[in-house]
Structure 1
């Protein structure tokens, strides 16, 4: 089968979605399918789209769908909150500093365009298992499923520096929020060299991770409930020991990750850095992940579960 992994609806240089597209591409290719990255949708093919649509893009979907054989699979990434995405205004903290998460009208429009686009979709795959049922209820779509984050050959790209060349103790890449800044400062006060940066491109991120002893997953706010499947997957795949602030909601990658509650987060990081066992532990956890979650098998199951054919 031939798939087109479309990225043009995310701008000219959408490096922020490429981990997900690469995971899907490699998984489909491991099953013998043809999977290409394309800026635009291709008539007559199965187009896989990461959610984030304009009204013009929805109209273009309708035009492309006129060609026989055209199908759409939408990968959803956000959280349904009533009649919008990501409305966590009940949380008494600012979710981000200078971020699109602070713009409610952006998320209302994004939710509306998603609802229009999903009417043309053969299936919806969500990055978080916890969001499958909310998306089923919000859309009424018959085929909403979780896109697992399993191990697939070719995804790992980080070439770690020798231990003596690792000049960063802990690395965090992602949207910087007040809560995340607070925990980074706690690490620095413990004498840990922690580097936190907004999302960066592949080469920059891989260099930072190669120089770091451990990776960090920090919740967006103190009350944030969800782990970051994508961050878990990237660090696991790349032999980078990830220390995560514990989240109320678990995911299928949680058993392979070191999790600590907020009060012990800095202590946990300091312990792993002091013991100097981060490299061997990262390999052990990646090997367990490889055997426990082979992505080609998981992708085959997902395709079977969301296929329109009898």
Structure 2
């Protein structure tokens, strides 16, 4: 197993580096599936790892000198127009170049690189499939990106034809994903004279079964079957045809996903990073057994084993793998409703704080049947950790009714759902079923406003909030945020699902002047890492 860091270069105040985020995640998931230790860092490199740098063209000359030997420059820009900068050429002479486009490889070969540039096309990782299309899509055509004269003229033509067009610039992450979910068609329009196919943008759309309309490009290859291709002269007519014909649009969505999902990022990376055979040693065997154990616990707590049906009030009462993956259902029997993505995030963060020595216990506030806390206790057990506790905080009788004086909770109905009230005896019983009920599991029973101010907690490495409401969220932050260690993590389950929760988070961060970046997980959950002095040079 090798160690990799995917580094995203983000100059201060420059938000557009977020366009690399999904590619960074794809690389991370692909490398991990090959058995390699991988993490994503912003503006940080690790001298003890192979660093794959996205956005290296944004580096200042003095920053380039901080890149460790053996780093990889993964170019995601279109070449062939303006000449490459002297700084970027210097990087090509010092480091291995990866590029997503065969036409860009030709350009690299002409300028001369220290070693032959490698074609590393953008691939598919199932973890990036996380956008659930809205049943009612109120946007006909979505375009996100910078606007030049060419793009503006096409968008005007669509509007003149009566199409509901939505165009945004500088929108990324959860906000952009929400727009995609509301859209019937997403446009890929040329900006540069090179007119290369913007697979960096389109890949994420295809992974999420979105109908894409694109202008033709000289390097499209088989992608011309995965997207609807129209020259600019008839692009308006092509969009109108797709908007009028729902079945044709659905066929395009399916065809695009089926094509792109066959382009496994693991297989692509395997061509440039051969999988190393596991060393036949007790340490490697232990690591593999630990992974297998935690995989099984994770599948059990969210019940991917017996596929129990959904019981919420809005969706059919049957098992839906997509809803369970994203935590969008209320399982009848599973011990957690946070879904596979958020559970994976919790597991990865819990292992990270152990492996990197971030001090403190692990805690969830609002536990339902206890599944997330069971996962955290399983991580401690798998790593042989006996000096940390898992704190299980809940009323164990459901959620409180909203208070009239708290406007952000006005109209909240969580207290009316009997399904959300799970007794402490039931949660203890669930821990016991996994063999994980012991002295390292500490329960705090009662309303957060009553239990948290006096909770005997010294330090926390992981604080996971799942209180849904504004008041509950704010109670947790006011009483526990200062107990989170530097380098520790704050995970918020309901940020994208409950407006009151999101309001509390944003207000608290603003009042405390917290600028640590918020990272999306699956459209609902988010997390951030409390500022710390990390090892490695700043890129």
TM range (shorter): 0.7 to 0.9
1:151 matches 2:151: no
User: What TM-score results when the alignment is normalised by the length of structure 1?
Assistant: 0.80
- Structure 2: give runs of 5+ residues left out of the alignment: 275-539
Instruction: Report the equivalent of 1:75.
Output: 74
**Deviates most, 15-24 or 134-143:** 134-143
* TM-align CA RMSD: 2.1
Q: Structure 1 CA distance, aligned partners of 2:210 and 2:264?
A: 19
Instruction: Report the equivalent of 1:269.
Output: 239
Cα deviation code 1:109-147 (max 9, x no counterpart): xx21122223332x2111222110211221333231122
Instruction: Report the equivalent of 1:116.
Output: 90
Cα deviation code 1:20-60 (max 9, x no counterpart): 21121111112111110123111121011122221111222
Instruction: Report the equivalent of 1:57.
Output: 63
* 2:27–2:265 Cα contact (<8 Å) kept: no
Q: What SS class does the counterpart of residue 60 from structure 1 fall into?
A: coil
Q: Structure 2 CA distance, aligned partners of 1:144 and 1:169?
A: 40
Instruction: Report the equivalent of 2:391.
Output: none
Instruction: Report the equivalent of 2:382.
Output: none
1:47 matches 2:51: yes
Aligned residue among 236, 241, 252 for 1:281? 252
Instruction: Report the equivalent of 2:471.
Output: none
How far the C-alpha of 1:300 sits from its partner, in A, is 0.6
The correspondence of residues 154-169 of structure 1 with structure 2, limited to 5 A, is: 154-162=127-135, 165-169=136-140
Q: Structure 1 CA distance, aligned partners of 2:27 and 2:116?
A: 18
Q: What SS class does the counterpart of residue 115 from structure 2 fall into?
A: coil
* 2:214–2:227 Cα contact (<8 Å) kept: yes
Larger radius of gyration: 2
How far the C-alpha of 1:77 sits from its partner, in A, is 2.5
Q: Structure 2 CA distance, aligned partners of 1:296 and 1:196?
A: 33
The correspondence of residues 1-310 of structure 1 with structure 2, limited to 5 A, is: 1-11=2-12, 14-39=17-42, 40-50=44-54, 51-52=56-57, 53-61=59-67, 64-65=68-69, 71-81=70-80, 86-87=81-82, 111-121=85-95, 123-162=96-135, 165-220=136-191, 223-251=193-221, 253-277=223-247, 278-291=249-262, 293-304=263-274
Cα 1:247/1:301, change in 2 over 3 Å: same
Cα 1:284/1:254, change in 2 over 3 Å: closer
How far the C-alpha of 1:272 sits from its partner, in A, is 0.6
**Deviates most, 295-304 or 46-55:** 295-304
- Structure 1: give runs of 5+ residues left out of the alignment: 66-70, 88-106, 305-310
Cα 1:300/1:261, change in 2 over 3 Å: same
How far the C-alpha of 1:252 sits from its partner, in A, is 5.1
Cα 1:260/1:250, change in 2 over 3 Å: same
How far the C-alpha of 1:248 sits from its partner, in A, is 3.4
Q: What SS class does the counterpart of residue 32 from structure 1 fall into?
A: coil
Q: Which has the higher contact order (CA 8 A, sep 6+)?
A: 1
Cα 1:252/1:112, change in 2 over 3 Å: farther
Cα 1:19/1:11, change in 2 over 3 Å: farther
Q: What SS class does the counterpart of residue 66 from structure 2 fall into?
A: helix
Q: Structure 2 CA distance, aligned partners of 1:280 and 1:238?
A: 14
Q: What SS class does the counterpart of residue 119 from structure 1 fall into?
A: helix
Q: Structure 1 CA distance, aligned partners of 2:215 and 2:129?
A: 23
Aligned residues: 268
Q: Structure 1 CA distance, aligned partners of 2:93 and 2:104?
A: 18
* 1:48–1:72 Cα contact (<8 Å) kept: yes
**Deviates most, 253-262 or 8-17:** 8-17
How far the C-alpha of 1:251 sits from its partner, in A, is 4.3
**Deviates most, 259-268 or 294-303:** 294-303
How far the C-alpha of 1:302 sits from its partner, in A, is 2.8
Instruction: Report the equivalent of 1:97.
Output: none
How far the C-alpha of 1:155 sits from its partner, in A, is 1.1
User: What TM-score results when the alignment is normalised by the length of structure 2?
Assistant: 0.47
**Deviates most, 168-177 or 150-159:** 150-159
Q: Structure 2 CA distance, aligned partners of 1:26 and 1:271?
A: 37
